[in-house]
Structure 1
Amino acid sequence: MATQKILILRHAEKPNHTAAGVDGNGQLDAKSLTPQGWQRAGALVQFFAPGDKGEPLAPLARPKHLFAAYYDPAADDDSKRPCQTIEPLAAHLGPSSLIDDSVRKDDVDKLIQKASAMDGTVLIAWEHKKIPAIARLLLAQSDPVPDWPDNRFDMVWVFDRIGAVWRLTQVPQLLLAGDSPATFN
C-alpha cells in the first residue's frame, strides 16, 4: 500500500547575524545548523518517536521513511541542514531508517513521486522556500497553500491521504523556547 501520511518540516535553525553554523564536531561551518538547530534536531527525536516504540500524538505518526534534500558541496546555495535535522531521529529509529538524500532540492516532482510510492509514513526535511511547491503537488489546485515564513523553523505540515485526496494540517512543534503556536496563513 502506498503512503497515506507525509510529514514535512523545514530544516532546523541556520546561521544568521547572531549565530554561526557548526558541524557535528562543533567546527564552524556555514552550511550546517546553529547550536539551536542542533537542539531542535535532538528534540525532534521524541517529538516523532517517543520512547523505544511509542507513537507521537495525532495527527503525527512515527516515520518509517526519511527524505532530506541532496547536498552538493560545490553548490553555493545547498546546505547540510536538511539531513542534519533528521540524523538524530534516523539514529534513534535504527538501521532500517536510512535517510534518502538522493533528490536535489529543486526537483520536488521527483521527491513526491518517490515519497508517495513508499509504504508507511514519510518524513521530509527540506528548504522552506520549496515546501509550498511540494504541498501544491499533493493538494487539489483549489486548496490554499500558505508561504513558509523565513523566520519559522518550528512547524510540521502533515498531509493525510483520504482516498485520492490529500488534506493538510499544520502542527506547531513547540519544542524550544520561542517556538510559536501560530499556524501559517
Structure 2
Amino acid sequence: MADRLVMIIRHAEKPVPEQPERDVDELGQADEKSLTVRGWQRAGALAHLFVDPPPPLQVPVAIVASAPIKKDGSGTRSLRPTQTVAPLARRLQFVPDTTFSKGQEEQAGRAIILQNLSPVLVCWQHEAIPRLSAAVVASAAIAPTVWDDADYDSIWLLTFSEADLRWAFQSENQHLLAGGRP
C-alpha cells in the first residue's frame, strides 16, 4: 500500500437557534434539512479550494458523503453533507459515494480503506466524525474524540505512511469565509 490520505470535513453551515439565518435548498426554497446561505457559500468555496489545493491538501480522486437515509429507511434525513460536496463533485465530474449514513461509521471507515483510493475527501456530520476517523485508522487514539459544534472550518487529515506503517493525524483550517476560525 502506498501512502494514503483521507481528508475529512464537516458539512457546511446549518441554522442555529440564536441566529436568524434559514436553511434553503439549492433553488433558494426553504428546506429544514438543507444548508444555510452561508453554507452554500462554503460549499462553493470548498469546490474552489479542492480543485487547486495548497499542501498538505490534495485534489481528491473520490468523494464520500453521509447519505440522508440508510437503506432501511432510518437516518437523519439531512441533505447537508451531500449538498456541501455537490459543487466540488460537479466540478471534478464525480458522483459522491453515499452508501453509508450517520450511524454507520464503522462500515464507512472500512469501505474507505478497502477502496484503496487516495486522496479521498469525506464529508460527514460532525458528531460522528471522530467515530468515522477511528474506523478509518482502526484506532481511537489517533484523532480527537470530539468535533466542536461551532467548527465548520477544520479539515482533518488522516495520513498513512508506507515508510512508517502507521497513521498520523493533522488538522488544517479551510480559511474560506470571513468570520471563520483563525
TM-score, L = length of structure 2: 0.88
Q: How does 1:4-153 map to 2 (within 5 A)?
A: 4-17=4-17, 18-50=20-52, 56-72=53-69, 77-94=76-93, 97-118=94-115, 119-137=117-135, 138=137, 140-143=139-142, 145-153=144-152
Query: Does the C-alpha gap of structure 1 residues 15 and 93 become closer, same or farther in structure 2, counting only changes over 3 Å?
Result: same
Give the stretch that moved more between structures: 37-46 or 70-79.
Answer: 70-79
Distance, in Å, in 2 between the alignment partners of 1:154 and 1:10 is 8
Letter of the structure 2 residue corresponding to residue 111 of structure 1: A
Identity within the alignment, %: 34
Cα pair 2:10 2:81 within 8 Å, conserved: yes
Offset from partner CA, 1:116-170 (integer Å, 9 cap, x none) = 1232211110000001112222164544524111111111001110133111110
CA drift of 1:2 comes to: 6.9
Counterpart of 1:170 in structure 2 is 171
Letter of the structure 1 residue corresponding to residue 34 of structure 2: S
Distance, in Å, in 2 between the alignment partners of 1:101 and 1:144 is 23
DSSP 3-state at the match of 2:155 = strand
Query: Does the C-alpha gap of structure 1 residues 21 and 161 become closer, same or farther in structure 2, counting only changes over 3 Å?
Result: same
Distance, in Å, in 2 between the alignment partners of 1:149 and 1:30 is 22
Distance, in Å, in 1 between the alignment partners of 2:126 and 2:178 is 21
Cα RMSD of the aligned pairs, angstroms, is: 1.9
Distance, in Å, in 2 between the alignment partners of 1:2 and 1:117 is 13
Unaligned runs of 5+ in 2: none
Give the stretch that moved more between structures: 130-139 or 102-111.
Answer: 130-139
Unaligned runs of 5+ in 1: 51-55
How many residue pairs get aligned? The number is 174
Give the stretch that moved more between structures: 98-107 or 33-42.
Answer: 98-107
TM-score, L = length of structure 1: 0.87
DSSP 3-state at the match of 2:156 = strand
Query: Does the C-alpha gap of structure 1 residues 22 and 48 become closer, same or farther in structure 2, counting only changes over 3 Å?
Result: same
